Chain A
């Protein structure tokens, strides 16, 4: 593996998957650019009322 790899990652999309990828990478020592086309992150999950099977608030 070449030594000149760049220790940063771009994550495209700030929904639940994008946020999880971004958090994991940032916590692992990489610089993360989280790119989202809308004005806030959260994605579709933020629009949901509750999640099964526990009926937790999705927000």
Chain B
């Protein structure tokens, strides 16, 4: 691979992000980060939390680069980091695999004349709205419209701008994410502006098919008062002599409506940019007709070129959790082909032996940081350092221009050694970003990293007391004194080491479980699949074809064969789990089959317990063989049932058991399934009338093309409302379906030979397993992942992962991707071979414990348990491996029996008492 490295014009090793350069830079340009709503300089950081937090120069606007004049930033930089003469470099890399996560570009709506995005300042895109709503945005989170900074009273959202549209643009697919983000923006806007704000969302189909999305939609509609109007607005007209906007649209009754809004938000879609397309061409990978990376259902992250994988919106329009899942899946796919070379390119760090400080008198070193002018501009830093020297046990104190710069760090190591310091205080910025850096220097100097304390004299002092430099200096001294009193009492903490059992267990032998097991095995780990039935394959065996027309059964059988042939995968059929002992790295599960019980030791577990189809209890289901569920129709198709060939008409009813009060989630797969099956029926008899009765057609992403194809093939889609469901009757041997036609507003009677009920997807009951592994289940019966967005394939409990329908209903490709993703997350743990616990964990004193159990029930990580044997039976103990040091148990212990190492009472009190001096 050959890469071009464009010049940054700033030396990253020297830049300390002090902002002196940008302050002086005379060139102001629109900020890309704030979608042009705010300005930045030609030398800039994109946003305050940017990683790396290093400035860069925009060569297209820098006066020096364009005209060889100015250069103010070079002169102003205190570390000499700016180098406007930098040139681009070519970098050659040899890699074993490539993962493409090139992303998407938001659709540019300026090409739509009728919406006047380019003309009317109060027509904004959803990306601009994100910035307007953001506390870090151009208005500081104050919701005002761009033209006159007026607080809007009425805001409209237009869905499908640049999606599902072949008339005005070329994007016929659905962008998948816009419905949910529009609802979110509307709800957040109401939070900002109060209930008086009128939010209206104009849509074609509301597609809230993700986990917990339907509830969010229901809440927005019913509790937050967001209006949802099923209409595609044709034109926006400016209201003369004002900045308001008049919308003309046709409502569901066919009447033309006019309504005036203060602001219109265009919910723009996702598309692949020309640059991204060029990248694909350069790499020789195939794109779909919609310019997304082409992949296959059973290999969802592999591109058309071997060794190159894809994830994120470059593969297809998708939301954050799906992108994160695919990203882990792609990492797994790369790991599968590179397993033999694992660890060959990485480097291990040299370990400096730790000095034993037990029994030593504290010798504290205090380093006070100027942070350029960030702190020193307000606080008298040398005075603070001088003051620190007067404090008890302080043997050394100094001030630094930038404590975090590499040379200061190297210097710090030398000072620690020379002065024989055994405790360190750094008075600088926030420990959140910089504690690990200083602790690393301590480790390099042979000091235990827990003998450390930071005083935040920047964020909590110089930044907030700019106008009171004297008081700020006094406060800095107080903060330093508090940190010194605490650090004097700190002890060296041990991080215990724990071996991780290198075996994996996968619960469930459906496609998700098999995908996880296959990936784990190919990455070199012994894997056991526990399956309660007598065969592998799960629900996939009941599905006829993938949306791209592949035969599912034969593909699943290939996968089963591969599993059977892989010597590292051990399949346990007709087996259940009877009990589980242990924790991350060291689980011991008791498995049960017809012959009895046996145990399996494993380091990680993947929950792939799957789901099943809901058995309908309405629409005359069970009273006539011609009334079937979607999966029963698949079965008829697989068996080439002769009755299908003679069908004269077919009706599908969607949302049977889904999006109902008792099951308020969308089952995600049924719309696509019915549309696909309708097309299959049309193939048998193109003239047959087919009706799909739906509430919203949710053919998200490129599945939208199937919906389009179905409409073109003559399939008729009729929307019904939850309070006016279709009525099914069997009269004189005929099935009749009565439904109100939403366009004509009239009842319609359909007679049919086949009624297919798109029944909900239910999770398999896994309450026992949830208890065994201490993982939560939500109200709908699905497992609750660690984080809805950023931890979608793992639990808060370490070492336990999840995939497939156990997480949420999903189609095959997504189940397989999640299976691979679970394997990837599991491998990150297995590859470590040992676990290091944090030193800052809670510990119980069994002599004081009253066995009340509050800590056991309150801990989110299941770290406390009751001791089961020995002299302290029944008393609480805390597993340091699982403890995250959050302190919940410490605060809730009524006996004061728990203490948190590194945050002991005496340490905290010492800190508070030295604050008391300040108060007095």
Would you call A28 and B831 a contact (CB within 8 A)? yes
Q: Does B93 contact A (CB under 8 A)?
A: yes
Q: Does B351 contact A (CB under 8 A)?
A: no
Q: Which of B52, B184, B343 contacts A50 (CB 8 A)?
A: B184
Given A3-B340, A29-B346, A39-B56, A12 contacting B324 (CB threshold 8 A): no
Would you call A54 and B788 a contact (CB within 8 A)? yes
Q: Which of A8, A35, A39 contacts B94 (CB 8 A)?
A: A8
Q: Whose C-beta in chain A lies nearest to the C-beta of B283?
A: A12
Chain B neighbourhood of A38, CB < 8 A: 46
Q: Whose C-beta in chain A lies nearest to the C-beta of B181?
A: A52
Binds A, one of B130-138, B354-362, B802-810: B130-138
Would you call A50 and B188 a contact (CB within 8 A)? yes
What range describes how many residues of B lie at the interface?
Answer: 35 or more
CA distance A23 to B331 in the complex (A): 9
Q: Whose C-beta in chain A lies nearest to the C-beta of B312?
A: A17
Binary contact readout A1-43 vs B (1 if CB under 8 angstroms, 0 otherwise): 1110111111111111111110111111111010101111111
CA distance A21 to B339 in the complex (A): 16
Q: What is the minimal beta-carbon distance from B51 to any residue of chain A, in angstroms?
A: 5
Residue from the set A18, A25, A41, A46 with the largest chain B CB neighbour count within 10 Å: A25
Given A12-B102, A18-B312, A27 contacting B828 (CB threshold 8 A): yes
Residue from the set A21, A46, A53, A56 with the largest chain B CB neighbour count within 10 Å: A21
Would you call B33 and A10 a contact (CB within 8 A)? no
Would you call B328 and A24 a contact (CB within 8 A)? yes
Q: Among residues 507 to 554 in chain B, which have CB atoms less than 8 Å away from a CB atom of chain A?
A: 523
Would you call A10 and B103 a contact (CB within 8 A)? no
Binds A, one of B109-117, B212-220, B251-259, B874-882: B212-220
Residue from the set B93, B187, B330 with the largest chain A CB neighbour count within 10 Å: B330
Would you call A17 and B46 a contact (CB within 8 A)? no
CA distance A28 to B181 in the complex (A): 34
Given A25-B331, A52-B213, A59-B136, A13 contacting B314 (CB threshold 8 A): yes
Q: Whose C-beta in chain A lies nearest to the C-beta of B8?
A: A39
Would you call A28 and B99 a contact (CB within 8 A)? no
Would you call B96 and A47 a contact (CB within 8 A)? no
Chain B neighbourhood of A5, CB < 8 A: 96, 337-338, 340-341
Chain A neighbourhood of B51, CB < 8 A: 40-42
Chain A neighbourhood of B312, CB < 8 A: 13, 15-18
Binary contact readout B814-843 vs A (1 if CB under 8 angstroms, 0 otherwise): 000000000011011001100000000000
Q: Does B594 contact A (CB under 8 A)?
A: no
Q: Which of A8, A19, A41, A53 contacts B95 (CB 8 A)?
A: A8
Q: What is the minimal beta-carbon distance from B659 to any residue of chain A, in angstroms?
A: 16
Given A28-B828, A29-B346, A40-B52, A9 contacting B103 (CB threshold 8 A): no
Would you call A30 and B52 a contact (CB within 8 A)? no
Chain B neighbourhood of A47, CB < 8 A: 33, 35, 127, 130-131
Q: What is the minimal beta-carbon distance from A39 to any residue of chain B, in angstroms?
A: 4
Q: Among residues 74 to 124 in chain B, which have CB atoms less than 8 Å away from a CB atom of chain A?
A: 93-104, 106
Q: Which of A7, A8, A24 contacts B327 (CB 8 A)?
A: A24
Main secondary structure of the interface of B (DSSP, over half): mixed
Given A27-B831, A40-B45, A6 contacting B338 (CB threshold 8 A): yes
Would you call A16 and B96 a contact (CB within 8 A)? no
Q: Whose C-beta in chain A lies nearest to the C-beta of B821?
A: A24
Q: Does B344 contact A (CB under 8 A)?
A: yes
Q: Whose C-beta in chain A lies nearest to the C-beta of B131?
A: A47
Would you call B345 and A30 a contact (CB within 8 A)? yes
Q: Does B437 contact A (CB under 8 A)?
A: no
Chain B neighbourhood of A51, CB < 8 A: 184, 320, 788-789
Q: Does B47 contact A (CB under 8 A)?
A: yes
Q: Which of B94, B130, B344 contacts A49 (CB 8 A)?
A: B130
CA distance A41 to B511 in the complex (A): 34
Chain B neighbourhood of A54, CB < 8 A: 788-789
Q: What is the minimal beta-carbon distance from A36 to any residue of chain B, in angstroms?
A: 10
Interface residue total, chain A, C-beta cutoff 8 A? 52
Chain B neighbourhood of A37, CB < 8 A: 6
Q: Does B183 contact A (CB under 8 A)?
A: yes
Q: Which of B181, B337, B825, B831 contacts A1 (CB 8 A)?
A: B337
Q: Does B180 contact A (CB under 8 A)?
A: yes
Would you call B134 and A49 a contact (CB within 8 A)? yes
Q: Which of A1, A10, A56 contacts B1 (CB 8 A)?
A: A10
Q: What is the minimal beta-carbon distance from A38 to any residue of chain B, in angstroms?
A: 7
Chain A neighbourhood of B47, CB < 8 A: 40, 46
Q: Does B311 contact A (CB under 8 A)?
A: yes
Residue from the set A14, A27, A54 with the largest chain B CB neighbour count within 10 Å: A27
Q: Which of A19, A30, A48 contacts B334 (CB 8 A)?
A: A30
Q: Which of B3, B324, B331 contacts A35 (CB 8 A)?
A: B3
CA distance A52 to B828 in the complex (A): 28
Q: Does B919 contact A (CB under 8 A)?
A: no
Q: Does B69 contact A (CB under 8 A)?
A: no
Q: Which of B46, B130, B213, B824 contacts A53 (CB 8 A)?
A: B213
Q: Does B724 contact A (CB under 8 A)?
A: no
Q: Does B323 contact A (CB under 8 A)?
A: yes
Q: Does B50 contact A (CB under 8 A)?
A: yes
Would you call A21 and B216 a contact (CB within 8 A)? no
Would you call A6 and B95 a contact (CB within 8 A)? yes
Chain A neighbourhood of B104, CB < 8 A: 44
CA distance A50 to B127 in the complex (A): 12
Chain A neighbourhood of B345, CB < 8 A: 6-8, 30-31
Chain B neighbourhood of A31, CB < 8 A: 345-346
Would you call B320 and A28 a contact (CB within 8 A)? no
CA distance A9 to B94 in the complex (A): 9
Would you call A53 and B216 a contact (CB within 8 A)? yes
Q: Does B335 contact A (CB under 8 A)?
A: yes
Binary contact readout B41-75 vs A (1 if CB under 8 angstroms, 0 otherwise): 00001110111101010000000000000000000
CA distance A55 to B831 in the complex (A): 34
Q: Whose C-beta in chain B lies nearest to the C-beta of A1?
A: B340
Known pairs A15-B101, A48-B130, A53-B216; list 4 more (Cβ under 8 Å): A6-B338, A7-B345, A10-B1, A24-B824
Task: Sample 20 A-B pairs with CB under 8 A, ordered by A number.
Answer: A5-B96, A5-B338, A5-B341, A9-B99, A9-B334, A10-B98, A10-B99, A13-B100, A15-B103, A21-B331, A21-B334, A25-B334, A26-B346, A29-B342, A31-B345, A35-B3, A40-B52, A51-B788, A53-B788, A55-B184
- The 3 closest A-B CB pairs, nearest first, are A17-B312, A7-B341, A20-B327
